[in-house]
Amino acid sequence: MKKFIILFSLALFYFSCQAQNSISPQLDAELQINTQQKPKLIVGIVVDQMRYDYLTRFANKFGDGGFKRLIGEGFNCSNNHFNYVPTYTGPGHASIYTGTTPKYHGIISNNWYDKVTKKSVYCSGDPEAFSLGTKTNMGRMSPHRMVSTTLSDENKLFTQMRGKTIGISLKDRGAILPAGHTADAAYWFAGGDEGHWITSTYYMKKLPKWVEKFNTSNAIEKYLQEWNTLYDIEDYSESGPDLNDFEGGFNGKDTATFPYDLMALSPENGGYDILKTTPFGNNLVTDFAIAALDQEALGTDNYTDVLAISYSSTDYIGHNFGVNSKEIEDTYIRLDKDIERLLLVLDNHVGKGQYTIFLTADHGAVNVPSYLQSIKIPAGYVNNTMARQNLNLFLTKFYGTADIVDNVSNNQIFLNRLKLAELKLDLETVQETIVNEIITYKNVYKAFSATTMSRSEYTSGIELLLQNGFNQKRSGDVLYVHSPAVISYGRTGSTHGSGLNYDTHVPLIFFGQGIRQGNTNKRTNITDIAPTMSALLGIGFPNASTGKVLDYILR
């Protein structure tokens, strides 16, 4: 019997080996095909402060080769949202590339109060890094405060660090966070009297020669020109009147109206920094991205590279002039041409069908509340000074001191734990007492304690968004949100940060290698981008990713 079992086992082993030998060539061929079908380059495009309705509102002014080409040949997810608050630039870029929310990647705002050091910290700030390309401290940056990996990092790991990663943006955080921890480079713009593309020692010891050459050419100076509308301003019927009470404008010019003489205005508006608040800032980003494609030979070998581009001028202009301005309309008409220019270069440099693009935004923006008020839509402004005074009066009356609060920022209240211990006060009770107090304040719409955020599990509404943005180590003891279209900002220009549709609803377009042509009105979340791109590449997901793969967009 034992002899029979041994012979039977040997026979099974023999036939198994034969089967494996006969299948292996097929598997090898499939693996080779899959490798060949991978895009040579992933280009992530983030448009800072782009509401979804800009795609539809300005559609008649767009050409055929920019946004319309991406949508027509790619896949448009028209119901795409951020699934957390706050909707700011730092958290937005981190969430897009990590596939998760601030709850896990740790970038809870652009700046936040650090409970350990008792100081405000910046999302990209790094005292251990030093500037390259500038005499200022603008280069003392890195991604070290982001605690999870990005799509870019996972591609690096998969390719044994052979695939390149480069991040480019006018803003440091728009370049650094998408590029991740393992990037070859991240570059951002230093304005002032320098007008240079810079980086930090986190990435390299000195600027590459091609960057130095770009900085010393006239590629930047030429944009200090007149900014007028690209087409006849009378045809800009998709935006409000040029002269109105809801726009900021530039120092040195009496009205926020076209045209703008940027050379004349630059001395009173930060020198080269003025370019950030014009469409020419986007032109600069495109110029530099095209130079990087060429000089770094991106997308030209067998290892997938990642180019992370963030267009920031749209945000600066939105903050200054508002979402209904002629300036915003002209900016998006010109950005459409930048997208077309970039696509043509990618076609020639990498090859049609050899690269993949996703285009999205880091947040949207609210219509200027003073404008909404003028047309009888509920809106308003928060008086933070008065709110803090009211809170201090309450705390002093109820607890004998206002010192139990360390900081109020980002719609969060941070308590002084040592003071609570000294006064023998229960943390949870104090949190709930403050919640019950501030919910009575004008324009405080919702309020929750950190204890509630930690113990409850929400599945919908603003509560879910707050929970997704709540990081137990970094967030405050009390969280609150303002009423719809009520902001903490000046009376001109737009801002963002809420969990309402005007801030959460942003574009999401996939295009190129491995992408189906089509569209969907199904809800997608910003956290779905990184896992979907990871699935396309066949690489590991970012290590804290919570999004889902949008398999219906993959070919």
Residues 486 and 379 sit within 8 Å (Cβ to Cβ): yes
Chain CA centroid to CA 3, Å: 68
Which CA distances in Å does 118 have to 112, 143, 430?
Answer: 10, 21, 20
Cβ atoms within 10 Å, residue 441: 16
Which residues are 414's β-sheet partners?
Answer: 407
Q: How far apart are CA 408 and CA 423, in angstroms?
A: 21
Active-site annotation holds for 89:
yes
> Using CB atoms within 10 A of its CB, is residue 196 exposed (0-12), middle (13-18) or buried (19+)?
buried
Q: How far apart are CA 46 and CA 314, in angstroms?
A: 11
Enter the tokens of residue 407.
């900081």
Query: Amino acid identity, residue 357?
Result: I
Q: How far apart are CA 112 and CA 102, in angstroms?
A: 12
Residues 409 and 522 sit within 8 Å (Cβ to Cβ): no
Catalytic residue from among 56, 87, 89, 255:
89
Dihedral in degrees, nearest 10, Cα atoms 514, 517, 518, 520: 20
At CB < 8 A and 24+ separation, what contacts does 539-543 make?
539/154, 539/155, 539/157, 539/158, 540/154, 540/157, 540/158, 541/99, 541/154, 542/97, 542/98, 542/99, 542/100, 542/148, 542/149, 542/150, 542/151, 542/153, 542/154, 543/148, 543/149, 543/154
| Strand residues in 440-517 grouped as ranges (E) | 444-449, 478-482, 486-487, 508-512
Residues 428 and 449 sit within 8 Å (Cβ to Cβ): yes
Q: Which of 283, 485, 468, 527 is nearest to 366 (CA)?
A: 485
| Strand residues in 33-138 grouped as ranges (E) | 41-47, 75-77, 80-81, 111-114, 119-122, 131-132
Structure letter (DSSP) for residue 235 = G
Q: How far apart are CA 141 and CA 149, in angstroms?
A: 17
Give catalytic residue positions: 89
